[in-house]
Every structure is written in C-alpha cells, then in structure tokens.
Amino acid sequence: MNQKSLSKVQRLKEVLLINLLGEIPTIAFGPRLRKLFYRFIFSRIDKSVYIQNGVEFIGASKIELGSDVHIFKGVRIDVKGEDSRITLEKGVALEKDVTIGALDNTCVQIGEGTFIGPGVCITGPGDITIGKRCLIAAHVGIFANNHNFADPTKYIADQGISRQGIVIGDDCWLGHNVTVLDGVTIGEGSVIGAGAVVNRDIPPYSIAVGVPAKVIKKRGMKELVLNQQNVKE
C-alpha cells in the first residue's frame, strides 16, 4: 500500500472514531472513551488526557498529546502535510474555541503547563514554539506567515507568503487580543499588554504595550526603558 492509500485509510479511521466518540458528553464517560480509543489514531496520547466533547481533529496521526493535557469544547486542531506536527506537552490546557493549524512542513510546539485562553488562533505555515508555563489570554492571534505584496501589478493572493516562524519563551504572559506576527521572538518572562501588535523581537523580561508593541520597562525595575528616540518613532 502506497503512502497516499495509507493516508486515506488513516483519515477514514480518524473520521469514524471522532464522529463516533467526539460528541459523547462527560456524564456518559466521553473523555474516558476518547482517551482510550483515540490512541489508535493519534501519534501519541499520554496518561490523564482530558478531551471534552465537540473537539475537532484533522491529521490526528501528526498530533502528540502529553500527560494531563486538557482540551475543551470547540477546539479545532488541523495538521496538513507529510512533515507537519503539533505537540502539546504535559499539562497544556486549550480553552474553548481555540484553533491551531499546521500546514506543509510546519511544527507547532506548546510547552509544559502553558494555558491557551478562549478563541486563540495559532497558525503556520511557519514553525511556532511556545515555551513552558505561558499564559495566553483570550482572542490572541499568533500568525507565523505574511503575505508578499511588493508588486502592485499582481494580486496579493498571487505573490506568495513568507514563513519565518515565531518563538515565545518560557513564562510569558500575552494579554487579551494581542497579535504576534511572523518572524518575532518574545523573550522569556515577558509581558505583552492587551491589544498590542508584536511585529519585532521583545527582549527577555520586558513589558511591552501598544501598536506596534514597544518595551516600556523591564520586570523588577521601576525605571522606564523607553528613551526619547523610541517615543518619537
């Protein structure tokens, strides 16, 4: 059997099991049944995984779930491409209506103990790494891609995309409705204020706010780190 045929068989198993078990509520032992039988379609499911009803998985054979992962209603995890992978490490929690997408040759990795709030969107096709014990508030967007648009004689949709990737270090807190754009690294221990648009790297242990996001101080220091030149930008 060739790779294409194997993929079709895997997808058939995935659709059958998810349609059969995906809507069984907690009161009817739904999470236990899903944990037991989803191991036949996932790349890895460790112990004590909790998957609520109403969760959609596409490409489950490329999804890895560590122990004590919690996934709540309305979550959609979609993995496309032969070399793509999504990994949720131990203790990750995905609140309602989170969307995570990995396209061709994309790796999305969310570190141990990280909380992803309701309505968050995390998508490639660039690689995305989110570190340990991060707090990602509701409706944050993390987008590891950007449309090319330099040629005004062509449709933007025909000019391709860039995919530099995004890295968010351990112990970061992203406030409500923050947007993180392609090519950005947010250093360990940083705090990004609600509504900020992060389009450049943020050093470790920084507090950044605004559109575009600018560092206003360092954690543990009272003095502002914005100089006059930054204010004028």
- 75 Cβ contact list (under 8 Å, min separation 6): 55, 56, 94, 96, 97, 98, 99, 100
Q: Would you call 147 a catalytic residue per the annotation? A: yes
Unique residue bearing structure tokens 């191991």: 39
- Provide the 3-class DSSP secondary structure of residue 52: coil
Give residue 84's identity as a one-letter amino acid code.
S
Nearest to 119 by CA among 133, 135, 100: 100
**Considering 70, 139, 147, 176, which one is annotated as catalytic?**
147
- Provide the 3-class DSSP secondary structure of residue 86: strand
Question: Residue 224 and residue 85: Cα distance in Å, rounded?
Answer: 40
With residue 104 as reference, give the H or E element that holds it.
none
Q: Which tokens sit at 169?
A: 């270090």
Active-site residues: which are they? 147
